Structure 1
């Protein structure tokens, strides 16, 4: 394929049905699958579907290329990441629109993905220039070093909702620290989750084989997780699939980084500004149709503010336009596909049958689900106990701070929580008791600065899985080295 800066990413015939394998684009042995625009049903492209042979070859190529990449100077690796940033910036406008079309997001969501991808590459570019170990105390005449070494080949498996961000946040630091990467994006979003990264790093001069990109199904994923040449798996997705990957990786004694789902709680105290709280709750619950791992699933509001908050959220739900996100005329776009929409709709209906009140929404047109408000939600109802992954506000009331904490912590874990209230000390005291990997005071739950450790507890994953200071720990391993000027004498 010609290397040209005039390549139009909306017209993807050059990549349609192709894998990125050892520096070039080739057809997948596993065939292709049609990718349609969620908002309109228009065919966007054909996604390559890697089979087990494709995956095995990609792993072999990455394994062969990794030592040479790791041997490059830190400055050289850093420069590749910075050139990738420049390429993303040059093509940012059309990339954002293409992401919006493929993922069903609004254009601002696509712009956010490109902007965050650039920031993640910039942060990663600084990693090779940091100290890579420590000098340890030792006996006289011996130098003792603990140094960070690349893990080798890192497998990255990513979902459909924010595919560029959730892929590049692992791909960029893993590459920067001297690893090769095999990336398996969701076949529903091969462009946003794979093609963009492959092209960015190809244009940036990444050596052939260091990044392999193969959309595929569970069969290809199991090969990636099980192959002994892959030292680590970084996975973002559902708790069910995360458990399966954790089991397989554990069987092969691999490092695994899991960022999953669970419940995210937004607590609104009785001294909160109700207008500000309603705005935060609406954004946290409905942005990108609630298809965000950090979405504000549970709005836990003091009973004295519950009615006022409900009125404001219902008014917002009725006013927010829903439709084709790429049109620039709506606030919410479509859900990713029919299966996701039907699962969410069933969850809403089951919750109402269990006794919750449907205050707004609960209907859809095509794949566009209206922003929905449920009140009277309680533990034991599906939308309280499960991650909705749809545009849903669950209103849950409390009387005391103790009760608010108990409600928030009555889950199997989650990523983010937030507390809104004028008394910051009180809000912080509540936040410190929340069982979440990330806590925000006077904000909603959807936050990420690209420089922070990112992860959760329980169903949220296995800790601060990636981001900021956690990246060096995640994508490198320790090696102890000692040095003496000459071998000593031993009593044998």
Structure 2
């Protein structure tokens, strides 16, 4: 199922309603084949300014709606999202190179996220604190931020956009979503259609596809009071710097070089299965991808053998043409980067156990052994289907190796002794640690986020979303005025 050239989003942005964008036109290109799928309009700084002004005007009325009416819009959006699964999954496969199973998981997780957000408006909005002043009542309450700018990535564009858009709307904010141009249809424009059909008032949501200039205009606009950014650490640092100067709230979910730690008492068959999923899912294009495999020397050879055998069985190809395990990398630049990192590491002494041969944008599941901390396969976030294996001797050495990275998003520890694994996990500088599992985990009801170069300590999900997308206000009440000494 495809949209026709007369699709509503064709050469349009969603600026309160469907309008031509003032930015350049960009072709929607299928990464697997290079086929042109449509033509995007992009937003420029003037579009961002118009959206921000309209959002600021529309937000107070949206926030003032009774909680059940805001919830009803989000529940209807969830229903429409599920009902339109076939079309959205189609675009996720064609536009983003997702295999169908990944696209289906992402959509189902997004529906769950929508249901959770629909429940948020009915939660308590504050607390009452005691006062040392007679007859004073102290109310501490959550209030909307105002206009929230969301800059979403291309790898999981639906889920990683909606995990900010939905709770922000639920708590009474207006939202400007800037999807990446490589995923703007399924990760933005189709969602705008559904929000419009769900009854979201005009001006409360805007979807403005664009590149760095569009994002910079959004970050710098004074009417945008918060930025929620998911993307690279380098860009996140720039956004954080700008928001810091403007005293603007910012939530940064950034890159990772995540570690799988395999202790000498681990179930190696299970560990290898977890590692293959964590390293190769969606071609490794996931911030939580298992990018470093630390294995205790005693079991390193067997672990490498098992992981290489799993990698060799995985098929890379066009996910729209038939069943495959890995689709294409998102663009030629990314495919070239993966190829270059592997080649440099092999030149420095890494052993290629599986994969390693690029075919255009397709890169096979690849396993490298004898990787040292001096090699690019260790130091760089590859964002491709590569599993570098490094040997260690003691638990203390494993901790030092994991914590030697500036990143701190996710980690996993495998051991037959849960107390041993938990003791090691408590020493790791990572925002999320999974015992006897893999690094790519997400549950909408659990706070999610990283440490260090992986983010600014902010969290999404469950109760953390209340903190992320609201601000607090102290209101004290005296039934009548009192006399002070002067």
* Counterpart among 420, 435, 438 of residue 444 in structure 1: 438
Residue 265 (structure 2) pairs with residue 267 (structure 1): no
Say if 2:46 is the partner of 1:53: yes
CA shift for structure 1 position 46: 1.2
Q: Secondary structure at the match of 2:449?
A: strand
8 Å contact kept, 1:17–1:31 = no
Q: 1:314 is matched with which residue? A: 308
1:81 to 74, 77, 81: 74
- Conservation of the 8 A alpha-carbon contact between 2:414 and 2:435: yes
**How many Å separate the matches in 1 of 2:265 and 2:229?**
40
2:128 to 135, 150, 153: 135
- Asked whether 1:63 is paired with 2:56, we answer yes
1:126 and 2:119 matched:
yes
Counterpart pick for 1:286 among 280, 285, 292: 280
Structure-2 residue corresponding to 1:3:
none
Deviations 1:329-381 (A, max 9, x none): 10000000001111121111111122211221111212110111111111121
Kept in 2, the 8 Å contact 1:10–1:98? The answer is no
| Inter-partner Cα distance in structure 1 for 2:474 and 2:113 | 30
Aligned-pair CA distance for 1:8: 5.8
Q: Do structure 1's residue 377 and structure 2's residue 357 form an aligned pair?
A: no
Partner residue, 1:27: 20
Structure 1 equivalent of residue 215 of structure 2: 221
Report the Cα distance in structure 2 between the residues aligned to 1:432 and 1:362, rounded to whole angstroms: 35
CA distance in 2, matches of 1:327, 1:467: 35
Matched, 1:408 2:399: no
Per the alignment, residue 244 of structure 2 pairs with 250
Shift of 1:302: 1.3
Asked whether the 8 Å contact 1:154–1:179 carries over to 2, the reply is: yes
Tell me if the contact between 2:22 and 2:44 (Cα under 8 Å) persists in the aligned partners. Answer: yes
Equivalenced residues, count: 485
| Whole-Å separation in 1 of the counterparts to 2:135 and 2:211 | 55
In the TM superposition, residue 426 of structure 1 has moved relative to its aligned partner by: 0.7
Residue in 2 that maps onto 1:458: 452
Bigger shift: 386-395 or 481-490? Answer: 481-490
Q: Which runs of 5+ in 1 are unaligned?
A: 1-6
Secondary structure of the corresponding residue to residue 201 of structure 1 = helix
CA contact (8 A) 1:437 1:457 kept: yes
Does structure 1 residue 346 correspond to structure 2 residue 340? yes
Number of the residue aligned with 2:381: 387
Superposition CA RMSD, Å: 1.3
Q: CA deviation at 1:489?
A: 2.1
1:18 corresponds to which residue? 12
Q: Which residue of 2 aligns with 1:482?
A: 476
User: Tell me, which stretches of 5 or more residues in structure 2 are unaligned?
Assistant: none
In the TM superposition, residue 328 of structure 1 has moved relative to its aligned partner by 4.1
Does the Cα contact within 8 Å between 2:2 and 2:90 map onto a contact in 1? no
Cα distance in 2, alignment partners of residues 282 and 484 from structure 1:
63
Contact 1:19 1:27 in 2 (8 A): yes
